[in-house]
Structure 1
């Protein structure tokens, strides 16, 4: 069986309307298909051409490179218009296909240090026979181009140089903790403002973001918006379209808060228009509508988080936030380890059942994230086991049951993508159907669900809350 893998898709030409098919290569083994490597180098691997009019367009798709004798042996280049969680899911699914094609020849050691992610823009460098020489040649070409720009258009060169300096400063600031902020900050309050801004950006739900802006009105200041604009410029400079979209979404929300007020801006962000209209018709203010939605979707209401677990839960929360901010796999390992300590503690089985169920659900989300990041089947199986147990113990009429069924369906679907076992796909469909059947059409649970669903990787409304935060903090 060939190792390289393509999927046949049907396209409609935007120029002439002709329907045609195209092979989209998702896995490439250079030793097997050197012609595809050449297409990667010249940027045409994912280019589709209309057979009728010759119109070409580039499709946005992920790519896995398999080179068993190279170091690292597996490279993953994400699609360019996807979220980090979607990239993780794509990588896990492509790794699953590669495992199937290799069969007994698969070696777990290839992912022993995790999966190496390479931005699409520099993938040709990574595949060069001499990457160092290729990088040096590229640097020389860039220097020549900049010198030509400086000679031909000094003003444009000056603008580019200023933007590059600003982008570098923003990137450095993004990597620093508030205590490491430079002494030359614009005001003495800059470190505190950066800390508040980072907390706003790293909030795992829109409810948490809302609380952060309420607590820190300085996030609506000109200085805060300027900091966000710097991060957008930095992300554009390095070609990170996902980061650009993420920062722009938050900047737009803060600007809207300045225009119409914090509650109204967040209510429009979090609630469907028809729900917001119903709330207003019932005489609820935007702030009251947000609180009603939060209470309807808060699994932790009334849950007593034992003090014994609070330190581990705090560590898990902070480690997950660090992973989301930096992509550091060690942070993801730390989050998983903290959750595992909670689950393994002898006192866990004696704790309040609602806390146990919330903990099992949210721990499963972390193990699924690590599976998407690293590809170890043990993490996926662990997530599924936790969700199965949580579903078994959740009462049929519990408002938490649909979200847990959603998560279980997501895990089973991921395992089907890995193994090809139809039993997993059937079970995933059944779980999703049960989740839908358990949710009344007019239930608040059909609102965008900030707490605990892993159903849509990359959708912020699907990020989980740890039981500690759901219980109102500890």
Structure 2
């Protein structure tokens, strides 16, 4: 018999709109393989929202969350309550790991408790179904190395060679996240030239995914074999 790993709670609630009591279903443990619908709710940032069955008012609840991703390089994500203090964060993590252990039963592996990736709630929607170890601060430097080759070379031919050599990394959703975050950070710091450079490189990678590598670079090279990145058709 299949084991249900995802775990909901039903906190007694009084609607802020009509005052009627109800008990919404709010998951604190999500098995991403078992419940892709809940993963989508995480991506939509509505997992811990509930609609009052009496008047339709939507309420948001501050609850911790553990996402279990069997088979992934980072199998457990922990997203604490944004307003929780450090002691509460640690306590909630221990409680949710204990709950996951009970839910998994004989499938539990103690190594899961030692390999928990903590992600703040505002970052969770974009990383819930990617490998966070490839992102800034992660333990796997392979994307960072590939991105350095792609960004810091002097010609578009070298950039194309970097993409072809590291296609799986540079055309991944993780690479998209790295560049989007870089654009946001440089924009906040008023570095307009860096924003333009990162935006251009992000557009190249998107074109590579949509049209293929050869087509994406066709309009960026001048036939010399060493086209400076500042060169543009037209």
**TM-score by structure 1 length?**
0.29
For residue 125 of structure 2, what is the aligned residue in structure 1?
124
1:67 corresponds to which of 63, 66, 69 = 69
Q: Which runs of 4+ in 1 moved over 6 A?
A: none
For residue 89 of structure 2, what is the aligned residue in structure 1?
87
How far residue 38 of structure 1 moved from its aligned partner, in angstroms, is 0.3
* Unaligned segments of structure 2, at least 5 residues: 131-171, 191-234
Residue 34 in structure 1 maps to residue 36 in structure 2: yes
Distance 1:61 1:143 in 2: 29
Tell me, what secondary structure is at the counterpart of 2:50? strand
Is the 1:72–1:110 Cα contact (8 Å) retained in structure 2?
no
Higher-Rg structure is 1
1:20 corresponds to which of 19, 22, 28 = 22
How far residue 138 of structure 1 moved from its aligned partner, in angstroms, is 3.6
Cα distance change of structure 1 residues 25 and 134 upon mapping to structure 2, 3 Å threshold: farther
Is the 2:30–2:38 Cα contact (8 Å) retained in structure 1?
yes
Is the 1:16–1:53 Cα contact (8 Å) retained in structure 2?
yes
How far residue 133 of structure 1 moved from its aligned partner, in angstroms, is 3.4
How far residue 111 of structure 1 moved from its aligned partner, in angstroms, is 2.9
Distance 1:128 1:67 in 2: 8
Tell me, what secondary structure is at the counterpart of 1:89? helix
Q: Paired residues, what number? A: 147
Cα distance change of structure 1 residues 100 and 120 upon mapping to structure 2, 3 Å threshold: same
Distance 1:161 1:143 in 2: 6
Cα distance change of structure 1 residues 58 and 82 upon mapping to structure 2, 3 Å threshold: same
Cα distance change of structure 1 residues 141 and 19 upon mapping to structure 2, 3 Å threshold: farther
Cα distance change of structure 1 residues 41 and 141 upon mapping to structure 2, 3 Å threshold: farther
Tell me, what secondary structure is at the counterpart of 1:9? coil
Distance 1:79 1:4 in 2: 18
How far residue 132 of structure 1 moved from its aligned partner, in angstroms, is 1.4
For residue 109 of structure 1, what is the aligned residue in structure 2?
111
Distance 1:41 1:61 in 2: 16
Distance 2:92 2:181 in 1: 32
For residue 135 of structure 1, what is the aligned residue in structure 2?
177
Higher helix share: 1
Deviations 1:10-51 (Å, cap 9, x if unpaired)?
211112112112011100011000000000001000001112
Higher strand share: 2
For residue 56 of structure 2, what is the aligned residue in structure 1?
54
Is the 1:4–1:27 Cα contact (8 Å) retained in structure 2?
yes
Distance 1:5 1:32 in 2: 11
Q: How does 1:177-216 map to 2 (within 5 A)?
A: none
Distance 1:131 1:77 in 2: 20
Cα RMSD after superposing both structures: 2.4
